[in-house]
Structure formats: structure tokens, C-alpha cells
Amino acid sequence: MYNKNNLKRMCSFYVNDIHLITMLLPYIEKKINGSGKFYTFFEKDFDKVIQMLLSKLNLKKELKEKINSINWKNSNNISYENIKEVLEGEKDDEKYLIINGSKDYINNVNQNINKYLKKCECKINVINCYEIVEFNKNITDILDKSKKILNTSGEHEIEEIFPEYKKKNA
């Protein structure tokens, strides 16, 4: 059953769609060859962006196919039942959930993940991706809800990226 060590919540900030995907790709490349699987909850499509970037990158065909197998289209259904289907689906050792959209969209997906966690046995990595212009005034709240931050150079402790940040209740 779920315990708090099964969940890792990260946040990521980006300036545009291409920046978001170029930031995610090294992390995905590093993790995709393991026993985990990537699932996306996007409010808008990133399919054209990923196709354009993959056509310009010098990656092995097998890696491109794995990246292409991730759903880069928008996820209209972010209900509890859909989250449950993803988390109960294939028995992966680890699941990577990439979430992007408006504040309400990201919050709704995360609330449904939280509802299901009590029943989950797998290891879950949630990556909440925020467009910096839209979320600039809420960065502290976002950081308070995250354990790590993901940027173009990989996964980091929040204090490495924002040295002046002090977590609430720390």
C-alpha cells in the first residue's frame, strides 16, 4: 500500500512550449530505459512541438520511438476514474506523471492523484510544469508543495536553484 516514500513531487518552470519539451527530454531520456512508464496530463497538445524537436535532434531511432510512444496530446479527461485507470493500469515499477496546464487543471489532476494514493502500490513521480509568466506570483506556493525542481540540467534540490527560498514549516 501507499506510503509517503512512494511519491515524489517535482515542479518545473518554463517560458514557452519548446523550452518545456527541451527541458523534459533529457530527464525522459535518462528515465525511459528503466522499468517505469511516462503518462501525461496536458491541457493542450504538444504533439507538433515534440515531432519538430525529434526531427532536429540526433537521437537513436529506438529512443525516438520510446519518446514518441508517450502521449503528447491534450488530456481532456482528468477525472478520478481516469487517474485510477492510469495508476492501476500496467504494473510498472515506477510511474512518471507529467502535468501541464492552467492552475485549475494542474490542481484538479493533483487532487485526483492524492485521492487515489491510498490504494496505490507503485512508485509515483509527479512533475508539475508551470509556465513562468502565468505562475510567477505563486512560485513560493508551488515550491512549498514540491520536493525537487526539474530544469534543463536535471533534477535538483529546490535550494540549489533558489538559495534564498525557505520552505514553510521547515
Residue 5, pLDDT score: 64
Which residues lie closer than 8 Å to 29 by C-beta, 6 or more apart? 59, 63, 67
Residue 2, pLDDT score: 46
Residue 92, pLDDT score: 61
Q: Where are the domains of the chain?
A: 4-161
65-72 contact pairs (CB < 8 A, 24+): 66/32, 66/33, 67/25, 67/28, 67/29, 67/32, 70/28, 70/38, 70/40, 71/39, 71/40, 72/40, 72/42, 72/45, 72/46, 72/47
Which residues lie closer than 8 Å to 159 by C-beta, 6 or more apart? 165
pLDDT, one tens digit per residue, over 63-122 is 999 999 999 998 876 777 777 777 776 666 788 999 999 889 999 999 888 887 766 677
Nearest CA-CA partner of 139 in 18, 1, 8, 11: 11
Residue 50, pLDDT score: 95
- Judged on CB neighbours under 10 Å (0-12, 13-18, 19+), 19 is middle
Q: What is the mean pLDDT of the chain?
A: 85
Residue 94, pLDDT score: 84
CATH of 4-161, one of 2.30.29, 3.30.519, 3.40.50, 1.20.120: 3.40.50
Q: Residue written as cell 514540491?
A: 146
pLDDT, one tens digit per residue, over 45-79 is 999 999 999 999 998 999 999 999 999 998 876 77
Phi, psi angle pair for 157, to nearest 5°: -70, 145
Residue 54, pLDDT score: 93
pLDDT band of 4, cuts 50, 70, 90: low
